[in-house]
Every structure is written in C-alpha cells, then in structure tokens.
C-alpha cells in the first residue's frame, strides 16, 4: 500500500491554469470597457461563453482525484476565449472608426446643407425668415457633434445629426413653395442669359450679369464670367419689379445709360440703367389693367448698380449695391452702353437641388 501511495504522488501532476483564467477574465473586462460588448456583440458573447466553458471545465477537474486531473480542455478553451476577445476588440475598434468616418461625413454634409439654407434665408425678405430658427437649432446640434459634446458615444452624435436634418427639413417646408414659385421664371432667365453670353462671344466687349438668388454681379467677357462681386438688392428681390415702391429688383436686359461719381450720386459711384424699358412699360400697363398694380401706382425708375453696399442685408429700393472698392473696379469696366442682364438665377448652387427635392445629394 505504501508503495502504491508513493507511486501516485511521484506521478507528475497537471497544475491548474488559474493564472491563464485570471488573465482571460481581465482581458474580457478590458474588452467590455472598450465597448466590445456593444460594437462586436456576437464575437464578444461567444468569447464570454467560451470563457464560462473553460471555467466549468476547470471546476470539473477540481472534483477529480489530484493525480487524474487533466486541464488540456481548459487550456484549449482559454486559448480560444483569448483569441475571441482579441477579435472582438479589433472589430469594435473598426466599427468605431467606421462610424467616426461616417459621422464626419454626415457632419460635413449637414453643415453644407445648413449653410445653403441659411444663405437663402438671410437674403429673403424679413417676413420669410421664420424658418431661420430651425436652421439655428440645427447648427447648434452640428456644433455639438463636431466638438464631441455628445461624449464618446458616436451613436448619440449621429442621433444629433438626424435631429439636425429634421430641423432643416422643417425649415425647407416653410420656404420650398416660395422658392418653387420664384423659379417659375427660370425659362425667361435662361433665354436672356443665352442671348447675353452669345453677344459677348460674337461681338466681344463686356456685359454684366446680376444673379439675384446668389446675390452676385458677374463681369462677362467672351461668354464667361471673369469677375464676380457680392451684391445687395431690394428687400422685395424675390419678385420682378412691377412698380415704384415695391422694393423689388427688376429682371430683364438693360444697358448702362449714365455713369455717376462724386456729387452726382449719394452712393459713391453709380451705373444708371435704362429701366423701365419698353418691355417693362408694357408689363406695367398689363398688370395695372388686371388690377395687380394699383391704378395710382407709377412705374418708377432710377434703377442703378451703385456703391455703399456691404451692409449684410438687402436694403435698396430695387437697385443693386456693391461695396465701394468693388464698385470702383466695376465702374472702370463698364462704360456707357454696357449690357446689363438681371436674372433670378444664373449658376445653380449645390444646395438648391437639395432644397427643392428634400434630398441630400
């Protein structure tokens, strides 16, 4: 009997891999703190289940005689659990990185959309600016997401961006109909532009194109824009000027008939246009006949491109206003007789299609 006992204790024993189990449990906790249980749920849960099986296998061996214990299955399960935990961490990091990229792209897309809507709204007459509150709310959400104010959870940031889009959608609902009505005149603008550009290609010389929607004055030579200046208009620019006092900027093809500077103008320098032309007079007569213009109204005149702009708002009585330094340049380029074409829109901005269709391109 003594010999048997000596023999049993002399047989090499398989030590329990408790250190490996502890390391695996710590690794699993690290993965959980790294949000692997959220970002790589399936792999993390498989790793967790495998670790539980390893722990159960070790406990079964504890119930066996010391000299019969075999921890090969436990070690195998621990090795598999360790590999799964590492994979879940990698998958989690990849998911976070991918979502971070998507978030940055989303922020840029929504920011561009908001900027386009803001530009439009800021140029609308005051009575049409109620939608600006939605844009301001959207911009605050964009800023919070971009600055990380939603914490490490990019899901919260993406949710914030969805809310920003909803704010912008609400703004668009208020102004889309207004813009669609404005663009009803697009075919007329296209014809006027084509004739103007063709004339500069055919005859040479310089023409000016006023783009009301974008609030720009273009210097055109050889059929293309060679210089562009920001402009301010009359508060009623959404409409085509019909009579004196409507604060609208006219649309059509005109010419510079007089150049003013010094004491000749209150606005630094000015280019007087031949508004009203024959077409404007015929339209005024027809509108008054239909009762769309008061019988007492006059057609008005003195429409100019002039200086004293840069106020950041539409303030003229229907004229086109530039900053004084820009007006100096334009004045030097535009002798008497220079064609001036005023349209509602020349170059369509990227955000316009988004506004009209409600999509994000």
What tens digit of pLDDT does each residue of 254-281 get? 999 999 998 999 999 999 999 999 999 9
Region 231-243 average pLDDT: 91
Query: Under 8 Å CB-to-CB from 59, ≥6 apart: which residues?
Result: none
Which of 140-149, 180-189, 297-306, 350-359 has the weakest average pLDDT? 350-359
Q: Say yes or no to pLDDT of 5 above 50.
A: no
Listed by start position, the domains of the chain span: 185-356
Angle, alpha carbons 87-89-93 (nearest 5°): 115
Region 221-235 average pLDDT: 94
- Nearest-angstrom CA–CA distance, 161 and 99: 13
Q: What is the pLDDT of residue 355?
A: 67
Structure-token pair, residue 200: 């500069």
Q: Say yes or no to pLDDT of 207 above 90.
A: yes
257 phi/psi in degrees, rounded to 5 = -110, -10
Q: What is the pLDDT of residue 13?
A: 63
Q: Can you name the CATH fold of 185-356?
A: L,D-transpeptidase catalytic domain-like (2.40.440)
Q: Which residue in the block uniquely carries the two structure tokens 């800021």?
A: 122
Is residue 110 within 8 Å of 142, Cβ to Cβ? yes
Structure-token pair, residue 140: 């605050």
- Nearest-angstrom CA–CA distance, 118 and 164: 13
Q: What is the pLDDT of residue 359?
A: 56
3-state secondary structure the chain: CHHHHHHHHHCCCCCCCHHHHHHHHHHHHHHHHCCHHHHCHHHHHHHHHHHHHHHHHHHHHHCCCHHHCCCHHHHHHHHHHHHHHHHHHHHHHHHHHHHHHHHHHHHHHHHHHHHHHHHHHHHCCHHHCCCHHHHHHHHHHHHHHHCCCCCCCHHHHHHHHHHHHHHHHHHHHHHHHHHHHHHHHHHHHHHHHHHHHHHHHHHCCEEEEEECCCCEEEEEECCEEEEEEECECCCCCCCCCCCCCCCCCCCEEEEEEEEEEHHHCCCCEEEEECCCCHHHHHHHHHHHHCCCCCCCCCCCCCCEEECCCCCCCCCCCCCEECCHHHHHHHHHHCCCCCEEEEECCCCCCHHHHHHHHCCCC
pLDDT tens-digit series, residues 42-58: 999 999 999 999 999 99
pLDDT tens-digit series, residues 141-176: 888 888 765 445 677 888 888 899 889 888 888 888
């Amino acid at each position: 009997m003594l010999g048997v006992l000596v023999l049993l204790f002399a047989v090499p024993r398989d030590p329990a891999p408790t250190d490996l189990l502890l390391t695996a449990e710590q690794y699993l906790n690290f993965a959980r703190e790294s949000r692997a249980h959220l970002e790589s749920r399936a792999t993390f849960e498989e790793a967790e289940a495998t670790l539980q099986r390893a722990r159960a296998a070790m406990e079964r061996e504890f119930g066996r005689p010391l000299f019969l214990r075999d921890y090969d299955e436990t070690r195998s399960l621990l090795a598999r659990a360790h590999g799964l935990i590492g994979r879940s961490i990698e998958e989690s990091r990849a998911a976070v990185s991918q979502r971070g990229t998507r978030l940055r792209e989303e922020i840029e897309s929504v920011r561009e959309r908001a900027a386009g809507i803001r530009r439009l709204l800021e140029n609308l007459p005051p009575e049409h600016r109620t939608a600006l509150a939605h844009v301001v709310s959207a911009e605050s959400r964009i800023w919070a997401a971009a600055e990380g104010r939603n914490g490490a959870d990019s899901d919260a940031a993406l949710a914030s961006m969805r809310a920003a889009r909803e704010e912008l959608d609400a703004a668009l609902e208020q102004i889309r109909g207004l813009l669609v009505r404005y663009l009803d005149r697009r075919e007329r603008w296209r014809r006027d532009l084509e004739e103007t550009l063709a004339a500069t290609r055919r005859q040479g010389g310089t023409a000016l194109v006023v783009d009301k929607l974008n609030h720009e004055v273009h210097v055109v030579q050889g059929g293309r824009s060679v210089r562009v200046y920001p402009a301010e208009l009359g508060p009623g620019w959404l409409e085509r000027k019909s009579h004196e006092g409507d604060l609208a900027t006219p649309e059509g093809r005109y010419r510079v008939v007089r150049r003013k500077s010094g004491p000749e103008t209150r606005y630094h320098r000015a280019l007087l246009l031949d508004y009203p032309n024959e077409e404007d007079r015929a339209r005024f007569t027809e509108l008054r006949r239909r009762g769309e213009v008061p019988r007492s109204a006059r057609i008005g005149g003195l429409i100019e491109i002039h200086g004293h702009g840069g106020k950041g708002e539409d303030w003229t009585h229907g004229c086109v206003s530039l900053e004084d330094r820009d007006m100096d340049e334009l004045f030097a380029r535009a002798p008497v007789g220079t064609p001036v074409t005023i349209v509602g829109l020349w170059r369509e901005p990227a955000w316009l299609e988004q506004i009209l269709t409600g999509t994000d391109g």
